[in-house]
Structure 1
Amino acid sequence: MYKLYGSVKSRAFRVLWMLEELGEPYEFFNYTPHHPEILALNTSGKVPVLVDGDDVITDSMAILSYLADKHSKMTATSGTVDRAKQDAMTNLWLDEFDAVLWTAARHSFILPEEKRVPEVKDSLKWEFTRNLARQGAQFTGPFLMGDSFGIADIVATQCLNWALVAGFPVEDQTMRAYAREMRERPAFKQAMSYLDS
C-alpha cells in the first residue's frame, strides 16, 4: 500500500487525485510542509512525499510519472511521439502556470517579509491571463491530450484551482469550462473530501 504525505492544499493534491483515479490502495497523511514526519522522509521539508515499500519519492511530477508508468495508466507509452507531446503539454503547464503561481505565493507569504516584492504580482497575473488565453484558443478537448485523461489534466486542473484560490483572473471561458468538468470527476471529489478530515 502506498503512503502519501502532504497537505491537500499543496501539490500533494495532484498525487492524491491520481491515486484515486488509479484505484490503488493508499494511506494519506495530511501534513503541512516541514512537519516532523515530512522532515524524516525529505530533509527539504517539501511535499508531496510518496512511500512505496522501502522507497521514498519526492516531487509531484516525479511521483505522477512513476505511478503512471508503473501502472501503465493515464500516460502515453515511454519512447513514443505521443509521450513526447504529453510531456511537452505537462511541462508547459508547469512552466507557464505553476511557476507563475508559485512565484506569486513566494512573494505573498513564503519568502521572509523583507525579501518580498508584492508589486510583481500584477505582472504575474498578466502573464497568467495571456498564457491561459493561448491555451484556450488551442484547446479541442475533452482533455488536454484529446480523448484521454492523464497527467497533464491533473496538473492543469490543480493549477487552475490554485489560481482561483489565489485571486488570479481565470477569464478564458473555454478553460473555465474545462476546469469545471474536471472537478466533476468522482476521483477528484474523493480526493477533495480530505479537506474535511
Structure 2
Amino acid sequence: MYEVIGSPTTRAFRVLWALEELGQPYTLVKEGPHSEAVLTLNPSGKVPVFKDGDLVLTDSTAIMTYLADKHGGLTHTAGTPDRARQDALTHCILDEIDAVLWTAARHSFILPKEHRVADVKPSLMWEYAHNIERLMNRLEGPYLMGDTFTIADIILTHCGSWAKVAGFPTDNEAFATYMRNCRSRPVFRKLTGK
C-alpha cells in the first residue's frame, strides 16, 4: 500500500487526489513541512513525501506522474504527441502559476522577516492574472486536454484554490467555469467534503 506523508492543506492534496482518481489504496501520515519525520526522508523538509515500498519520491508532480504512468490513468501515453502537449501544459502551470503563488507565500510567511518583500505581491498578482488568461485562451474543453482529465488539471485546480485563499484575482470567467468543472468531480468533493 502506498504511503503519503504530508498534510492535505499542502501540495500533498494533489497526490491524494491522484490516488483517489486512480482508485489506489494508500495511507496518509499527517506531518507538516520540516517535521523530523519529513526531514529524515527529504532533506529540503518539503511535503509531500511518497513511499512505494523502498521507493521514496518527493515533489507532487513527480509523484503524480509516476502514479499516472504506473496505473495508466490521468495521463496520455508517454512518447505520444498528446503526452508531449500534456507535459508542456504541466510545466507551464508549474512555471507560470505555481511558482508565482509560491513566491507570494514565501514573501508572506515562509522567508525570515528580514528577507520578505511585501511590495512584490501586487506584481505577482498581476502576473498570475495575466498567465491565467493566456492559459484559458488555450483551453480545449472542460479540461486542459479537452475531455480528458489529467494531472495537469489537478495541479491547476489546486493552484486556483490556493490563489483564492491567498487573495489573488478570481475574475476570469473562463477560469471560474474551468474550476467549477474540476471541483465538481466526485473525488474532489469526497476529499474536500464540498
The residue number in structure 2 matching 1:167 is 167
Q: Is the 8 A contact 2:104 2:124 kept in 1?
A: yes
Letter in 2 for 1:135: L
> Superposed, which structure 2 residues align to 1:129-140 within 5 Å?
129-140=129-140
Unaligned 5+ runs, structure 2 = none
**TM-score normalised by length of structure 2:** 0.96
Question: Is residue 156 of structure 2 the alignment partner of residue 188 of structure 1?
Answer: no
> Superposed, which structure 2 residues align to 1:88-103 within 5 Å?
88-103=88-103
Q: Is the 8 A contact 1:2 1:50 kept in 2?
A: yes
Counterpart Cα distance in 2 of 1:137 and 1:82? 18
Letter in 2 for 1:106: R
The residue number in structure 2 matching 1:19 is 19
Question: Is residue 111 of structure 2 the alignment partner of residue 126 of structure 1?
Answer: no
SS state at 1:169 partner = coil
Give 1:119 deviation, angstroms. 0.2
The residue number in structure 1 matching 2:113 is 113
Question: Is residue 150 of structure 2 the alignment partner of residue 150 of structure 1?
Answer: yes
Counterpart Cα distance in 2 of 1:183 and 1:80? 28
Counterpart Cα distance in 1 of 2:18 and 2:90? 15
Deviating more after overlay: 65-74 vs 39-48: 39-48
Letter in 2 for 1:59: D
Higher relative contact order (CA 8 A, sep 6+): 1
Give 1:50 deviation, angstroms. 0.5
Q: Is the 8 A contact 1:41 1:49 kept in 2?
A: yes
Counterpart Cα distance in 2 of 1:142 and 1:78? 23
Counterpart Cα distance in 2 of 1:39 and 1:190? 30
The residue number in structure 2 matching 1:2 is 2
Counterpart Cα distance in 2 of 1:49 and 1:63? 9
Give 1:73 deviation, angstroms. 0.9
Aligned length, in residue pairs:
193
Counterpart Cα distance in 2 of 1:180 and 1:29? 29
Give 1:136 deviation, angstroms. 2.2
Question: Is residue 79 of structure 2 the alignment partner of residue 79 of structure 1?
Answer: yes
Letter in 2 for 1:46: K
Q: Is the 8 A contact 1:4 1:49 kept in 2?
A: yes
Give 1:171 deviation, angstroms. 1.4
Q: Is the 8 A contact 2:139 2:145 kept in 1?
A: no
Give 1:93 deviation, angstroms. 0.6
The residue number in structure 2 matching 1:177 is 177
The residue number in structure 2 matching 1:62 is 62
Give 1:140 deviation, angstroms. 2.9
Give 1:170 deviation, angstroms. 1.8
Question: Is residue 42 of structure 2 the alignment partner of residue 46 of structure 1?
Answer: no
Unaligned 5+ runs, structure 1 = none
Letter in 2 for 1:8: P
